[in-house]
Structure 1
Amino acid sequence: MRHTLTAALTAAALVTVPALASAQDSLRIAGNFSQNTKQVGIEQAFFDSLGENAGVELAVNYNPMDVVGVKAPDALRLLRSGAFDVMSVQIGMASRDDPFFEGIDLIGVATDMDSLRTVVDAYRGAFDTRLQEKFNAKVLTLWPFGPQVFYCNEPIETLADLEGMKVRSFTPSMSAMLESLGATPVTLQFSEVYPALQRGVVSCGVTSPTSGNTGNWPEVTTHQLPLSVSGSVQGHFMNLDTWNAFSAEEQAALEAQFKSLEDQLWDLAISANGDAVACNTGADSCTDHTKFSMELVEITDEDRAKIKDIAETVVLPIWKETCNNVDETCSATWNETAGAAAGLTIN
C-alpha cells in the first residue's frame, strides 16, 4: 500500500472528507507553528525519513499548521472530520472541545519535567481511549514544550504584580489561575502573541523559554519570571480511519518511530530551556539560542506556594465542575490516573 503525505489547503481543512478516500490514498499533515523553529525542525526531519525508517512506503510533504491556515483550537474537529490525517495538536487550546483532555496538564499540578512525564504517562491510556471515542483519532505522541513561564513588557517582581494586567493564556485552567491573581486572561495562539505584546494588547505572555526565544518574544518584553506553572503538553494524533488502513505490522513500525519522535521532543524540553533562559537574559553561558537582555526575576518561595495553592483551591475544583458536566466520571478517572501520579485528589 502506498501512502502519500500532503498538507491540505486551508479550504480543504474546512470540508469533511473521509480519510484515505482519494484515489491516491493521500495522507494530510499539519505540523506545529512555524515560529517554534526547534520543534518544527525535529518534526520536519522526522516526517522526511518516516517511511524509510519505518519500512513503510510513504511520500511526505510536511507543513506547519500556520502555513496551511489552521487554528490551534480547531485541531480535534479537523481530525475527526478527516480533513487532516496527522496533526500536531496544542492540547490546551484544543481541549475547549472537551475539557477531559486538559486533565493531562492542569496548571500547578506538575511544574517540573520529571513529575510532568509521570503524570502524562499515567493519563495516556484514558486520554487515548477518549480521543478515539470522541474524535476518531489516535495518540501517537505526547510531549511538552517545557516549563511555562512569564514574559512581561512591564516591570514585575512577583505574581502579585500581575494584578490588573492583561496576560496571554492558552488553556482554561491557566485563565482560572490568572483570574485568581487579579489579571485578565486573553486567549491567543502562539503566532498571535508577538504582535499582541508589541502593540500592548497584552502586558505579559506565558510560554516556554525555548518557544519564547525562538519566537523572539524578548524583542517585545523586558522581564522574565521563570516560575513554571505547567508544561504545555502537545501531541501528534492520527485520524483513526487512516490509522486502521495500515496493516498491524505497519502500525507497530510507525508506533516505534513516533515513540522516537516523542523522546526527541521530551529531550528538547528538558535540555534546551535552561540555555534559553540564559540567552533571554543575556547570560555569558548562552550558547544555542539568540541572546537578548531581559531582566531575570527571582522566584520567591511565596510564589511557588501560591501556584500550588491555586492548583488545589481554584484550578482543580473548576476543572472538576466543567469536566464532570460533560462526563460524570471525569474527575474520578483523573484521580485514578493523573491525580494518583501527582499525589493529588479532587474531592
Structure 2
Amino acid sequence: MRRILGVATAAAVMFAGATANAQAVDQKKFNVVGTWNFLTNWKVLEVPFWEKDLPAASGGKLSGNIKSVTELNLKGTEVLRLLKSGVYDFAAALPIYVDDGGAIIEAVDIAGVAGTFKMSRDIINAWMPEMQKVMRERHGAVVLGTFTWPEQNFYCRGDIKSVDDLKGKKVRVQGASQADLVKGFGGSAVTLPFGEVVPALEKGVVDCGITGTMPAYKAKWHEVTNTLFRLPVGFTASVWVANAKTWDKLSPATKELLQKELAKLSDKSWKTTEAETEEGVACTTGTGTCTQGTPGKLKLVKPSAADLKARDRVLNEVVLPAWAARCGAECAKKWTDTIGKKYGLTATAK
C-alpha cells in the first residue's frame, strides 16, 4: 500500500511540475521573416517549425506568423534592420547580407575555407561568441540557431573546363569573400539579388553565378546555363535571430523551450540540407535521381587537383588577406587563433 501511495505521490508531483512549467510558458504569436518561399528551407523546415512543431511543443502557446522574403519583397540587407526596429520578432539571417559588423559575421563562411558541412558547422559554432556580441550590440539581436544551404558551386553559360576558364567572366556572387575569390581567378564579381540572376544570365549581363545546388535547380538556373562547375566555394552558413527586446521580455520557461526547439530545428536543417546537395546536382545535370521534377541537362565538370590547388592559393593569397583587412588586425588574429590554426590557415592583411 505504501508503495502504491509513493508511486501515486511521485506521479502527482511530476504532473504538477509539468503543469506549472507549461503555465510558465508565455502565450505568444511571433512575427517571423523567413527565407525564399520556393526553396526547401522554407517548405520543409521554416513553415512546419513555426506553424506546427513549435505550437505542438508548447501546448499551443507559441507559434509564428511567418512570411518569406519573397512574399515581402525584401532585400537581404533589410531583414536585420526590420528585426532591430521591432517589425519582426524572429528572422532567418544570412551573414552575406549583414552590413554593420559584416566582416565579423562573414568570418563563419569565408569563401573557400569550409570543405564539408561538418567543417562549416564547426566553424560557425566556434565563432558564435563573436557573432553574439555583434548581433546584440549592433543589431539588437540574439542568435538562437543555425542553418545552412547546399554546397555553393559555379553555374555558367558556355563551356567551363577549369578555373582558368573563369578568367574574364562576369560572375554573380554573394558577399565580399566570394567576390575576392572570383577576382583571384581573374573574373569580375557582380552583386545581384537572387531573384534577378536568371534574367541576368539569360541576357548575358553575367556569364556565371554562384549558388547552392538545389536552389539552382528550383530557381531554374539550369534553363539559362550550360555548365555546372562543381568547385566548392562554401555553404552560406546562416542564423536564426530574435529581436533582443522581445527575447529579454520572455519568461525563463519560454526561453528554455525556444532554445530547445530551435536546437532541434538547427540539427534537422543541417541534415536536410546536406542530404539534398547531391540531389541538387542530379536535378540540374540529369546524372542521378531527381525527385523534384524534370532534371536539367547541364554539363557536370568536376574540379581537378590543379583546380583545387588554385582555389587554395587564391584563398591564402587573396581572400583571407582581403577579409583580414576588412575585419581588422585584432579580429583576424582571433579568427586565426580560434579557427584558422585548426585548419592550417592564417588571416593577415597585406
Q: TM-score range by the shorter chain?
A: 0.7 to 0.9
Cα deviation for residue 148 of structure 1 reads 0.6
Instruction: Please state if 1:72 is matched with 2:76.
Output: yes
Amino acid in structure 2 at the alignment position of 1:212:
A
Change (3 A) 1:341 1:81: farther
Instruction: Please state if 1:100 is matched with 2:126.
Output: no
Cα deviation for residue 83 of structure 1 reads 2.5
- Structure 2 distance, partners of 1:111, 1:126, is 22
Match of 2:165 in 1: 161
Which of 113, 121, 130 is matched with 1:109 structurally? 113
- Structure 2 distance, partners of 1:118, 1:97, is 21
Match of 1:36 in 2: 39
Change (3 A) 1:284 1:175: closer
TM-score (norm 2): 0.87
SS at match of 2:70: coil
Match of 1:24 in 2: none
Cα deviation for residue 96 of structure 1 reads 6.2
Where do 5+ consecutive residues of structure 2 fail to align? 1-25
Instruction: Please state if 1:89 is matched with 2:114.
Output: no
- Structure 2 distance, partners of 1:37, 1:268, is 9
Deviations for 1:129-179, whole angstroms, at most 9, x for unmatched residues?
221122110111222202110111221111111111111111101001111
- Structure 2 distance, partners of 1:98, 1:169, is 16
Cα deviation for residue 301 of structure 1 reads 0.7
Instruction: Please state if 1:4 is matched with 2:5.
Output: no
8 Å CA contact 2:160–2:227 kept in 1: the answer is: yes
Cα deviation for residue 66 of structure 1 reads 2.0
- Structure 2 distance, partners of 1:217, 1:285, is 18
- Structure 1 distance, partners of 2:55, 2:99, is 30
Which of 201, 207, 220 is matched with 1:197 structurally? 201
- Structure 1 distance, partners of 2:337, 2:58, is 35
Change (3 A) 1:126 1:55: farther
Percentage of matched positions with identical amino acids = 29
Instruction: Please state if 1:294 is matched with 2:315.
Output: no
8 Å CA contact 2:35–2:41 kept in 1: the answer is: no
Cα deviation for residue 277 of structure 1 reads 0.7
Cα deviation for residue 288 of structure 1 reads 4.5
Deviations for 1:268-308, whole angstroms, at most 9, x for unmatched residues?
22111111112211124334554111110131111111111
Which of 213, 218, 232 is matched with 1:228 structurally? 232
- Structure 1 distance, partners of 2:308, 2:120, is 16
Cα deviation for residue 312 of structure 1 reads 1.1
8 Å CA contact 2:34–2:42 kept in 1: the answer is: no
Match of 1:252 in 2: 256
8 Å CA contact 1:112–1:228 kept in 2: the answer is: no
Match of 1:14 in 2: none
Match of 2:347 in 1: 346
Which of 278, 281, 285 is matched with 2:282 structurally? 278
Cα deviation for residue 125 of structure 1 reads 2.1
Number of aligned positions between the proteins: 322
Rg comparison, structure with higher value: 2
- Structure 2 distance, partners of 1:210, 1:289, is 12
TM-score (norm 1): 0.88
Match of 2:50 in 1: 47
8 Å CA contact 1:149–1:208 kept in 2: the answer is: yes
Where do 5+ consecutive residues of structure 1 fail to align? 6-27
SS at match of 1:151: strand
Instruction: Please state if 1:182 is matched with 2:161.
Output: no
Change (3 A) 1:138 1:145: same
SS at match of 1:314: helix
8 Å CA contact 1:104–1:233 kept in 2: the answer is: yes
8 Å CA contact 2:96–2:102 kept in 1: the answer is: no
SS at match of 1:280: helix
Cα deviation for residue 62 of structure 1 reads 1.5
- Structure 2 distance, partners of 1:58, 1:144, is 24
Cα deviation for residue 313 of structure 1 reads 1.1
Change (3 A) 1:338 1:142: farther
Instruction: Please state if 1:135 is matched with 2:139.
Output: yes
Amino acid in structure 1 at the alignment position of 2:70:
D
Cα deviation for residue 59 of structure 1 reads 4.2
Cα deviation for residue 97 of structure 1 reads 5.2
Residues 211-226 of structure 1: matches in 2 within 5 Å? 211-226=215-230
Amino acid in structure 2 at the alignment position of 1:226:
R
8 Å CA contact 2:101–2:138 kept in 1: the answer is: no
Cα deviation for residue 55 of structure 1 reads 4.4
SS at match of 1:67: helix
Which of 112, 121, 127 is matched with 2:125 structurally? 121
8 Å CA contact 2:34–2:66 kept in 1: the answer is: yes
